[in-house]
Structure formats: structure tokens, C-alpha cells
């Protein structure tokens, strides 16, 4: 039986005032952009679990402002088992601190369980502990009150905090939060990960695997980066971008204590 998760990236692209402070982020990154990025990584993580279905109830392009009422109606009509709203924070008396804040609706026991588990998982995954608000709260936000399913709203950091902004702008942070949020929901809901198929044996002697070094830029570098990241060696904020830069060199050195990728490296990465 399917487990249905309705989700939204809070607000929309042109919501007035919802952006990072210019003095902290010259690009004044919009909140919806940050919300959408975490939501997309959440959807990516959801693909790892059996029977999970997702419904995005805001406009995935961010161009249209879908009302909160219509978001809740869509989730309820679909029969969602859980609702999650992705946000980033600001205000609450200002200050340099910030931190994650996770909300559930007042009186919702199941919502509180999701809330507390999401907060713990996100903090364990590198989330920001703050001092500007209580980290877990019961509050009557519209989407929490008007969804039939247990609902949670997560603020992943403050857009006006000199501590939080450098962190929340990183793609790697968004990925950590998206994956941790999904893992927490899976824990509470009792979801199981899909069984991975055994890898087919690779005949490395038949492969044309070039030696790679710093400065190379091509799809083969990207393949190497994907393999490194899959083994837990991060290649920088840009991830698998096909560019062999300092971060990729550092990851490769940590993997094998050498700065080049030769046939021996390829065999280790491919597990053959």
C-alpha cells in the first residue's frame, strides 16, 4: 500500500521580502529558491523507499502563488498520509544566531512525533542549532491546521543570520536536510528502503579508463566524482560537476592517498 506525502516549498518566487539579507548574501537569494532546493533533494531521497508517492502542492516553477487553502485542499483530496512544508526563517527579534525550528499543529500527537524526529535527524545530519527560537514547537500555521494528515513545517535556518546564511546557501546543506527529513519520516512511518540489485561484474581490462588529474574537465571526471561521493568522499559544494578541482583532488587523496585516478583507482572505485 502506498504511503502518500504531500509537500510544498513555502511561499513562491516573488513573495515580497522573503529573501536573504543583502549584507550577508549579495545575491539576495529568495526564500522559495532555498525551500525548493531542499524539497527537491527530499523528493530524490524518497525514491529510495518502497511504496512512497509524492504530491507537490505548490507550483514547482515558483512562478505562481498557490494559496495555502488550495495546497491543503489538494493534499486532503489526494488522501495524503503526511504533509511537509519546507521553509527558511527570518526575524524573531533579530540577532546573529538562528537555527532550525520545526513545527507541528497543536494537539497532534503524530505530528509531534514527526516533528521531533525530523529535528533530531536534521541536527545529526549537520543542521544548525540556534538561539533565536524554541527548536520544536506546536503552532497553528495554516497548513498545519487545515490538513487532514499529520503535518510538519520546518524552518531550516535564518536568512538574516550571519551564522546561518553561509550554511543555508550551500547546496550540500540542502541535500543533507532533504535526505535527513525523508529519513525521519520513513523512521516514524515504518517505511522500508528498496532492495538494491547486485552490481554486474565489470571487466576492467575491456574498459578505456583514462588517467585523470587536477585540471581535467569532462564526463569521465564526473563519473569518478559520482563514485567518490557514493563512497562518502565529498567533492565540494558543486558535487559531481565534471571539473577536477581542489575539492575533488582532496576527496581522491582521502580515498587512496594519491592525487591521480589511474586504472588501480578505477578498480577500487568500481569494487573490482
Please give the Cα distance from 219 to 12 (Å, whole number).
34
Could you give phi then psi for residue 85, rounded to 5 degrees?
-115, 130
Say whether both 135 and 241 belong to one domain.
no
Q: What is the CATH number of the domain that holds 211?
A: 1.10.101.10
Give me the pLDDT at residue 209, please.
79
Note whether 80 and 31 are same-domain residues.
Answer: yes
pLDDT at 6: 97
Residue 148 covered by a domain: yes
Asked, for residue 145, whether it belongs to a domain, the answer is yes
Asked whether residue 116 falls in the same domain as residue 210, the answer is no
CATH of the domain at 54: 3.40.630.40
Range of the domain at 241: 204-270
How far apart, in Å, are the Cα atoms of 260 and each of 61, 215, 219, 221?
Answer: 40, 11, 16, 11
**Same domain, yes or no, for 214 and 185?**
no
Q: Which residues of the chain have pLDDT under 70?
A: 92-96, 196-208, 272
**What is the model's pLDDT at position 207?**
56
pLDDT value at residue 203? 54
DSSP the chain: --EEEEEEESS-TT-TT-B--TTT-TT--BHHHHHHHHHHHHHHHHTTBTTEEEEE-S-TTS-S---HHHHHHHHHHHT-SEEEEEEEE--SS--S----EEEE-TT-HHHHHHHHHHHHHHHHTTPPP-SSS-SEEE---HHHHS-SS-EEEEEEEETT-TTTHHHHT-HHHHHHHHHHHHHHHHHHHT--BPPPPPPPP--GGGS----B-TT-BSHHHHHHHHHHHHTT----TT-S-SB--HHHHHHHHHHHS-SSB-HHHHHHHHT-
Q: What pLDDT does residue 272 have?
A: 64
Domain assignment of residue 194, yes or no: no
Are residues 173 and 211 both part of a single domain? no
Whether 45 is in a domain gets the answer: yes
pLDDT confidence of residue 199 = 52
Domain count, the chain: 2
The answer to whether the CB of 270 falls within 8 A of the CB of 260 is no
Q: What is the pLDDT of residue 95?
A: 61
Answer yes or no: do 129 and 208 share one domain. Answer: no
Q: What is the pLDDT of residues 218-257, one digit of tens each?
A: 888 888 888 888 888 888 888 889 899 999 999 898 888 8
- pLDDT tens digit sequence for 186-208: 999 999 999 866 655 555 554 56
pLDDT of residue 94: 60
181 occurs within a structural domain: yes
Question: What average pLDDT is seen over the chain?
Answer: 91
Q: 114 and 71 in one domain?
A: yes
Does the residue 97 lie in any domain?
yes
Amino acid at each position: 500500500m502506498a504511503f502518500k506525502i504531500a509537500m510544498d516549498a513555502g511561499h513562491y518566487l516573488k513573495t515580497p521580502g522573503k529573501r536573504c539579507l543583502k549584507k550577508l548574501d549579495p545575491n539576495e537569494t529568495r526564500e522559495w529558491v532555498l525551500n525548493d532546493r531542499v524539497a527537491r533533494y527530499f523528493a530524490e531521497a524518497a525514491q529510495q523507499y518502497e511504496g512512497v508517492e509524492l504530491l507537490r502542492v505548490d507550483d514547482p516553477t515558483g512562478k505562481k502563488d498557490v494559496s495555502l487553502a488550495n495546497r491543503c485542499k489538494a493534499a486532503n483530496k489526494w488522501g495524503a498520509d503526511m504533509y511537509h512544508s519546507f521553509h527558511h526563517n527570518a526575524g524573531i527579534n533579530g540577532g546573529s544566531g538562528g537555527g532550525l525550528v520545526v513545527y507541528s499543529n497543536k494537539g497532534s500527537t503524530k505530528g509531534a512525533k514527526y516533528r521531533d524526529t525530523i529535528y533530531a535527524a536534521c541536527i545529526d545530519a549537520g543542521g544548525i542549532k540556534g538561539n533565536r527560537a524554541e527548536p520544536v514547537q506546536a503552532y497553528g500555521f495554516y497548513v498545519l491546521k487545515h490538513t487532514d494528515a499529520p503535518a510538519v513545517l520546518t524552518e531550516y535556518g535564518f536568512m538574516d543570520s550571519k551564522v546561518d546564511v553561509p550554511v543555508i546557501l550551500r547546496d550540500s546543506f540542502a541535500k543533507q536536510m532533504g535526505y535527513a527529513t525523508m529519513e525521519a519520516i520513513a523512521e516514524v512511518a515504518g517505511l522500508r528502503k528498496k532492495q538494491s540489485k547486485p552490481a554486474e561484474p565489470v571487466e576492467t581490462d575491456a574498459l578505456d579508463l583514462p588517467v585523470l588529474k587536477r585540471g581535467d574537465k569532462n564526463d569521465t571526471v564526473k563519473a569518478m566524482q559520482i563514485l567518490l561521493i557514493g563512497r562518502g568522499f565529498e567533492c565540494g559544494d558543486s558535487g559531481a560537476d565534471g571539473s577536477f578541482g581542489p575539492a575533488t583532488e582532496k576527496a581522491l587523496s582521502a580515498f587512496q592517498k594519491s592525487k591521480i585516478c589511474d586504472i588501480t583507482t578505477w578498480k577500487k572505485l568500481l569494487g573490482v
